[in-house]
Amino acid sequence: MQQVFGHPASLKDVQTHFCPGCQHGTIHRLVAEAMDSFGVQDRTIGVASVGCSVFLYGYFDIDVVEAPHGRAPAVATGVKRARPDRIVFTYQGDGDLAAIGTSEIIHAANRGEAMTVIFVNNTTYGMTGGQMAPTTLPEQKTTTSPYGRDVEQAGHPIRMAELLTGLEGTAYSARVSVNSPKNILQAGRAIKKAFEMQIEGKGFAFIEVLSACPTNWGMNPLAANERVAEEMIPYFPLGVFKDNSEA
Amino acid sequence: MSKRLFVKGNEAVAMGAIEAGCRFYFGYPITTQSDIPEYISREFPKVGGTFIQAESEIASINMLLGASACGERAMTSSSSPGISLKQEGISYMAGSELPGLIVNICRSGPGLGGIDASQADYFQSVKGGGHGGYHIIVLAPGSVQEMYDLTMLAFDLSDRYRVPAMILGDSVLGQMKEAMTPHPYEPPVDLPEKDWVVTGKGAHGGQRIVKSLYLGDGELEAHNWRLHAKYAELKEKEVRYEGVGLEDAELVVTAFGSTARIAKTAIRMARDEGLRVGLLRPITVFPFPEQAFLQATETAKRVLCIELNAGQMVQDVRLSVDRDAEVFFYGRPPGAGSLPTPEELLEQIRKYYKD
Ligand SMILES: Cc1ncc(C[n+]2csc(CCOP(=O)(O)OP(=O)(O)O)c2C)c(N)n1
Ligand code: SF4
């Protein structure tokens, strides 16, 4: 009999601290599967950011450096320049990457740093209790937009995958979602692609993953998942925006 | 390599760093120190170094954090407003026990201030300018030669204790040219092996994590006690200072960096007048030479602290001296034209001298 499904080697066999229905766990698994598929677990260095994913060193069985809020792309730049033969990825939330760390992500992409960035967009600051993020949708209620996000006052949600696509240094940019089995498979393929781009030395690869935060959205996991399909995907379209793999 | 050279203080720092094996530089331009990135960007390609002009001081300190986590000798340099921006990363490096060199060629502030020499960043440097209650090793050169020598020493101390190190200079030291003798770097034979660096776990078996987050019960307190034990060890073993004429001194003058140079001239003038005045110049400002001050003031009961600020190091001096000693202060907040003259300091020496 052939085994078609198992626990990824790059992921420790432990329980996560994530809330029920949170999709960080699913995304962790896809990243681990990507590392396994290329056999790079032993030469990968992860850069942890600030937010609900900060404990990723508790789940990934790899070497990890922890970065200050938003600075993961700069830390990863130092790591990659020091160890160009290693595989380096950052794993960042939307508060981390699209607010305090906008400068670092734009410039790392623009320099074409050979790294993979996993960007988890759940339209809120999860860890600090559901405040408004740069990705919070218009009219979305959060603890700091209690009447719903007013775009006149707070600006419009940022589409990071599209924004980074415009930069010369970006070799790959895609947006995926993990709200359905089909989308999970697609997300897995895109994340693999983003690692492959780095392994083949093609440059900066960016994956935005739409993800649910049932706790801070005040929804049960199923309703949260439906919100991803009905509200998030229409604003944040899925797709590959740039792919220089043939270049 | 024993030829005497006529070089700028900033260049001496860059030369010392390259000689000490630093091959990673991350920085952002700011006046009074830009010669350092300029020199390094020119020389690094010849020795296989990596130079990145980062998008900001915040990014550059975090690039340093990343390269250091991989075990490389790495540095950044800036001047006062840029060092303020780096404080976040410095705190994280201190918390993550990462070595690395930060050069601060101070200019005057607060805010945008001016580009004149200043010692108003003393508190920020030696008291842990970022959050969380930590220290870094702070070395205060007083000559171009020391800019070179102490840069090498900073890397060694930083590696030995896994504590970030800072060269605390100022725009006078950075910009002036004087004779200096370069010499080969001799690595200490007993530097501990870097058995904590991330390399990808294949290179060392188990997983390695470089982090500063400790949430478990008692974990962070234990971590902090460990850091503070290192600071105590630094105070015990790594204090450096220059003492001149302390044996018979009635008045001890203390100053660091460029101010100490002017003070030295004033002290010579005072000695010519027959005043028994000594100099105690801290070279490590953290760890502060507490014992040296205590010793010097067991006989000399008067200390005059001179600084290019409104009074910062004087607080450490007061805490260190013999309880019967009196400490006086003379200083000026930095700004154009505020550098004291030797005559001005001589007048202060006369004022506080008692035979
Ligand atoms: C300099 C700084 N500012 C603020 C914080 C507080 N903080 C911790 S996590 C976080 C938001 C994280 O949100 P996101 O990146 O979206 O990740 P999520 O928790 O949603 O996965 C904030 C603001 C911090 N740790 N450091
Ligand atoms: S707060 Fe939100 S993002 Fe954080 S673990 Fe819970 S569901 Fe996930």
Q: What pLDDT, on a 0 to 100 scale, did the predictor assign at position B339?
A: 94
* Contact residues, chain B, for A63 at CB < 8 Å: 198-201, 207-209
Q: What pLDDT, on a 0 to 100 scale, did the predictor assign at position A247?
A: 79
The answer on pLDDT for B198 being more than 60 is yes
> What does the alpha-carbon distance between residue A228 and residue A215 come to, in Å, rounded to a whole number?
14
The answer on pLDDT for B17 being more than 60 is yes
Q: What pLDDT, on a 0 to 100 scale, did the predictor assign at position B330?
A: 98
Burial class (CB in 10 A: 0-12, 13-18, 19+), A219: middle
* Contact residues, chain A, for B196 at CB < 8 Å: none
Angle of CA points A123, A76, B24, to nearest 5°: 150
What is the CB neighbour count within 10 angstroms for residue B235? Answer: 17
The residue-averaged pLDDT of B24-47 equals: 98
The answer on pLDDT for A246 being more than 90 is no
The residue-averaged pLDDT of A39-63 equals: 97
Interface touch A61/B58, C-beta < 8 Å: no
User: Could you read off the pLDDT of A139-178 as tens digits, one per residue?
Assistant: 999 999 999 999 999 999 999 999 999 999 999 999 999 9
Report yes or no: B72 at the A interface, CB cutoff 8 Å.
yes
The residue-averaged pLDDT of A97-123 equals: 98
Interface touch A43/B24, C-beta < 8 Å: no
The residue-averaged pLDDT of B348-355 equals: 91
The answer on pLDDT for A217 being more than 60 is yes
The answer on pLDDT for B355 being more than 70 is no
Angle of CA points A69, A79, B80, to nearest 5°: 60
Interface touch A78/B62, C-beta < 8 Å: yes
CB distance B164 to B137 below 8 Å: yes
> Measured from the CB, is residue A160 less than 6 Å from ligand 1?
no
The answer on pLDDT for A21 being more than 90 is yes
Interface touch B207/A47, C-beta < 8 Å: no
Q: Among the residues of B100-218, which ranges form H helices?
A: 122-126, 144-161, 171-175
Would you give the end-to-end CA distance of chain B in angstroms? 47
How many A from CA of A138 to the centre of ligand 2? 21
* % of chain B residues with pLDDT over 70: 99
Q: What pLDDT, on a 0 to 100 scale, did the predictor assign at position B56?
A: 98
Report yes or no: A54 at the B interface, CB cutoff 8 Å.
yes
Residue B166: name the closest of B59, B219, B89 by CA: B89
- Please identify, by atom number, the ligand 2 atom nearest to the C-alpha of residue A130: 1
CB distance B284 to B161 below 8 Å: no
ipTM of the complex: 0.96
Q: What pLDDT, on a 0 to 100 scale, did the predictor assign at position A4?
A: 84
Q: What pLDDT, on a 0 to 100 scale, did the predictor assign at position B115?
A: 95
> What does the alpha-carbon distance between residue B108 and residue B111 come to, in Å, rounded to a whole number?
9
Categorize the per-residue pLDDT at B1 as very low, low, confident or very high, splitting at 50, 70 and 90.
Answer: low
The residue-averaged pLDDT of A88-92 equals: 98
